[in-house]
Amino acid sequence: MTFETVGQGTLRAQYFDKAIKQIVTETFVIRQAVAVTTTGAWTNHFFREKMEFLEAGRGIDVSGIPRLAEFPHASPEWERKTTYLIKYGLEENIAWEDLRTDEIPVKARTAIKIAEGIAYNIDRMMRSSFVNDGEIQTLVIDVANPWDNPASAAIIDNLLEAAEKIKDYKYPVDNLICFVSSKDKRSIMNYLVAKGAQFPRIATDVALNGEIGTLAGVRLVESHAIAASEALVVVPKRCATYKVNQPLSTVTKEDEYKSVTVRAVEVGTFQITDPKAVVRITGTQE
Note the pLDDT tens digit of each residue in 208-240.
557 788 888 999 999 999 998 999 999 999 999
Are residues 119 and 256 part of one domain?
Answer: yes
Q: Report pTM.
A: 0.81
Are residues 248 and 235 part of one domain?
Answer: no
- Give whichever of 48-57, 157-166, 201-210, 260-269 has the largest mean pLDDT: 157-166
Could you write out the DSSP letters of every residue in 50-75? P-SPP--STT--SS-PPTTPPPPP--
Three-state DSSP class for residue 180: strand
What is the extent of the structural domain holding 265? 8-51+79-130+241-271
Within a domain: residue 229?
Answer: yes
Q: How far apart are CA 122 and CA 155, in angstroms?
A: 28
Report yes or no: 228 and 187 within 8 Å, Cβ to Cβ. Answer: no
Q: Which of 67-76, 198-207, 233-242, 269-278 has the lowest mean pLDDT?
A: 198-207
Long-range contacts of 47-55 (CB under 8 A, 24+ apart): 47/78, 47/79, 47/80, 47/81, 48/78, 48/79, 48/81, 48/135, 48/273, 48/274, 48/275, 49/76, 49/77, 49/78, 50/76, 50/77, 50/78, 50/79, 51/169, 51/170, 51/274, 51/276
Residues 11, 113, 258: CA angle, nearest 5 degrees: 50
Within a domain: residue 93?
Answer: yes
The predicted structure's pLDDT at residue 205: 44
Closest by Cα among 91, 24, 51, 26 to 268: 24
Are residues 256 and 123 part of one domain?
Answer: yes
Within a domain: residue 61?
Answer: no
Q: How many domains does the chain have?
A: 2
Could you write out the DSSP letters of every residue in 224-284? TTS-TTEEEEE-TTTS-EEEEEEEEEEEEEEETTTEEEEEEEEEEEEE-S-GGGEEEEE--
Could you write out the DSSP letters of every residue in 85-120? -EEEEEEEEEEHHHHHH-SS-HHHHHHHHHHHHHHH
Over residues 109-136, the mean pLDDT reads 91
The predicted structure's pLDDT at residue 6: 43
Are residues 195 and 160 part of one domain?
Answer: yes
The predicted structure's pLDDT at residue 227: 92
Q: How far apart are CA 113 and CA 109, in angstroms?
A: 6
Give how far Cα 128 sits from Cα of 67, 77, 209, 234, Å.
Answer: 54, 27, 19, 14
pLDDT exceeds cutoff 70 at 59: no
pLDDT exceeds cutoff 70 at 134: yes
Q: How far apart are CA 130 and CA 96, in angstroms?
A: 43
Are residues 43 and 92 part of one domain?
Answer: yes
CATH number at residue 148: 3.30.2320.10
Are residues 205 and 152 part of one domain?
Answer: yes
Three-state DSSP class for residue 83: strand
Are residues 248 and 121 part of one domain?
Answer: yes
Are residues 190 and 224 part of one domain?
Answer: yes
The predicted structure's pLDDT at residue 166: 97
The predicted structure's pLDDT at residue 197: 44
Spatial CB neighbours of 70, under 8 Å, sequence gap ≥ 6: none
Other CB atoms within a 10 A radius of the CB of residue 214 amount to 16
pLDDT tens profile 176-209? 999 999 999 888 887 777 665 445 555 444 445 5
Q: How far apart are CA 87 and CA 85, in angstroms?
A: 7
The predicted structure's pLDDT at residue 72: 80
Are residues 254 and 121 part of one domain?
Answer: yes
Three-state DSSP class for residue 133: coil
CATH number at residue 39: 3.30.2400.30
Are residues 40 and 176 part of one domain?
Answer: no
| Percentage of the residues of the chain whose pLDDT score is greater than 90 | 45
Are residues 226 and 84 part of one domain?
Answer: no
Report yes or no: 206 and 212 within 8 Å, Cβ to Cβ. Answer: yes
